Structure 1
Amino acid sequence: MSKTSVNTAETLTPRGRRTREALLAAARTVFETVGFLECRVELIAQEADVSYGTFYRYFESKEHVFMELSTQLFEDVHRRLPPDPELSPAERLISSNRAYYRAYRANAKMMAIVEQVATFNEGFRELRQEHRRQLVDRTSRAITRWQQEGKAAPGLDPVLAARAMAAMLDHTLYLWLIQGDAADEAALLDTLDQMCLGALGLTPGAGK
């Protein structure tokens, strides 16, 4: 069928924005229910209770809506409260780890689909890599600052250390929350924190 021009969120009326948000919510439900490969535009339209043609007023394809959902997901995962200056580096690292875990768990179904799609779609693979780069950049800057303050192990390469920590957190949460690896939640999260602190030479409560 011929597609009408796609409306962006900025050009929509309030009613149009509500319809677009309903389509995004419906698309997430369908993706999480049947997966990316089995998802079809008509399923999204049915879930949103709109016509097939209405979908194309707001999105070009299922790939388009999936990209927007994935971007929203990573923005949610990256969203953090400003660090409390009263916390020590160790406490800040633990707080960051726990915030990342909560966001990952809240979005686990979509994270699983993003991981799958990234294996065969270059655009989504680049989005996933950009997500990792943001995590690594933020962590490496913190490690560098702590080294300069004499609070973290001075011999570590900050970027490589941040990459290793991000890989450990990501893969552990993926195996646990997505692949179903059995684990005691409190023990697993405490162990991840201890391993990160040990790797950086940080001591809980030592120095602000």
Structure 2
Amino acid sequence: MARTSLLRELPATPRGLRTRSALIDAGRKVFERLGYLDTRLVDITQEANCSSGTFYTYFAGKEEIFAAILEHAQEDMLHPGMQHVAGDDDPASIVEASNRAYFEAYKRNAKLMGLLEQVANIDPEFSKLRQDRADAFIHRNARSIASLQERGLADPELDPMLTSRALSGMVSRLAFNYFVIGDGHLDGEARPMDDLVYTVTRLWVNALRMPTTH
């Protein structure tokens, strides 16, 4: 996420980094348990077993620590780690592995994504953080689309950025509806995550006119 008034520079010492990380871990547990509005700083310091003075060394308030928690979650979602795909001769398999890794990361962070949606509707700073997060995914996917086009593996007439906005928005909204709103359900019925992976992969492949080997 881009640096805003909610995101400070990291501590300079290893001890400071460890303390800040412990506060972030504790804060995440409390926010996910109590929700953003009902969380108090004392709840976080008790969870972290630290003093309020220690807390204020690293964060000005719950807005700052929540922003730091979201920054950690975004790193997990942008770089979730995906299964190894042998070679690059089947770009559709790479898209499938990437989609699966994204959905698995979204599942890990679903409670935070739900809280971000709520807070962004009432706080302009978090609205900006949410947009920064979306833009990071869009730009990454646009670079991937452009690379496929350069290799002759995607429709060269598509605008990479506009295409990425359309496809990335589709995937992220589907993930929100499935993991946050539906809790594993869509249209009133339970669906395995494999259905999501298959569907969005086919839509990506068809939209980009990518070749497949299976």
Which category of TM-score, normalised to the shorter sequence, fits these structures?
0.7 to 0.9
SS at structure 2 position matched to 1:10: coil
Matched with 2:105 is: 103
Measured in 2, the distance between the counterparts of 1:120 and 1:103 equals: 26
Q: Is the 8 A contact 2:96 2:197 kept in 1?
A: no
1:183 and 1:81 map into 2 onto residues whose CA distance is 24
- The answer on 1:150 being equivalent to 2:152 is yes
- Helix, strand or coil: the match of 1:115? helix
1:3 matched to which residue of 2?
A: none
Q: Residue deviations 1:121-170, cap 9 Å, x none?
A: 22222122112112111211221222233221233222111111111111
- Aligned residues of 2:142 and 2:161 also touching (Cα < 8 A): yes
Amino acid at match of 2:37: L
Decide whether aligned partners of structure 1 residues 90 and 61 sit closer, same or farther in structure 2, where only a CA change above 3 A counts.
same
Once residues 132 and 17 of structure 2 are traced to their aligned partners in structure 1, the CA distance between those partners, rounded to angstroms, is 28
Go from structure 1 to structure 2 and tell me whether the alpha carbon gap of 1:201 and 1:52 turns closer, same or farther (over 3 Å shift): same
Shift of 1:8: 6.6
1:84 Cα shift? 5.9
Matched to 1:36, the amino acid is: Y
Matched, 1:86 2:68: no
* Counterpart Cα distance in 2 of 1:154 and 1:19: 49
Aligned to 2:43: 43
Q: Is the 8 A contact 1:8 1:58 kept in 2?
A: no
Of 111, 114, 118, the residue aligned with 1:112 is 114
Which residue of structure 2 aligns with residue 196 of structure 1?
204
Q: Please tell me whether the aligned partners of residues 135 and 166 of structure 1 are also in contact (alpha carbons under 8 angstroms).
A: yes
Q: 1:40, 1:72 → 2: CA distance?
A: 21
Compared with structure 1, are the counterparts of its residues 46 and 139 closer, same or farther at alpha carbon in structure 2 (3 Å cutoff)? Answer: same
Per-residue deviation, 1:57: 2.2
Identity %: 36
Larger deviation, residues 174-183 vs 144-153: 144-153
Superposition TM-score, scaled by structure 1 size: 0.85
Deviation at 1:81, TM superposition (A): 5.1
Q: Measure the CA separation in 1 of the matches of 2:109 and 2:50.
A: 25
1:52 Cα offset (Å): 2.8
Task: State which structure, 1 or 2, has the greater radius of gyration over its C-alpha atoms.
Answer: 1
TM-score, scaled relative to structure 2: 0.83
Aligned-CA RMSD value: 2.3
Q: Return the alpha-carbon distance in structure 1 between the equivalents of residues 145 and 9 of structure 2.
A: 40
Aligned residues: 199
Structure 2 residue runs without a partner (length 5+):
1-7
